[in-house]
Amino acid sequence: MLSGCTWCCSPSEVKKLTDVFSRMFSDPSAKVFTLYVETLPSFLQSHADDISPEWVHVCLSCLLTRVSGEQFSSAITRLHKALNAAR
């Protein structure tokens, strides 16, 4: 797992990663979703200064939309962790 991991990425790599995360927002697969919400907090915390505020806004909107429709408590817990990291 990536928790506690410090990522070292250049600004162009951070941009590529935000693009990948953006594509993952709309993926209906539960496996992709789980990977996404488990990885997102570490990414947000490691690169808070490098991520554009516009992308964080989109990320928050997508996470809030997802949490409103989620039924499983384990997924809601992961979403809350991601939301806290984005905050």
pLDDT of residue 6: 54
pLDDT of residue 2: 44
Per-position DSSP letters for 11-42, written without gaps between them:
HHHHHHHHHHHHHHHT---HHHHHHHHHHHHH
Q: pTM for the full model?
A: 0.73
- The better pLDDT of the pair 3, 77 is held by 77
What digits encode the pLDDT tens for the residues 40-83?
898 888 888 889 989 988 888 888 887 787 777 887 888 888 88
pLDDT band at 16 (very low <50, low <70, confident <90, very high): very high
Distance in angstroms (rounded) separating the CA atoms of residues 3 and 8: 14
- Residues 55 and 44 sit within 8 Å (Cβ to Cβ): no
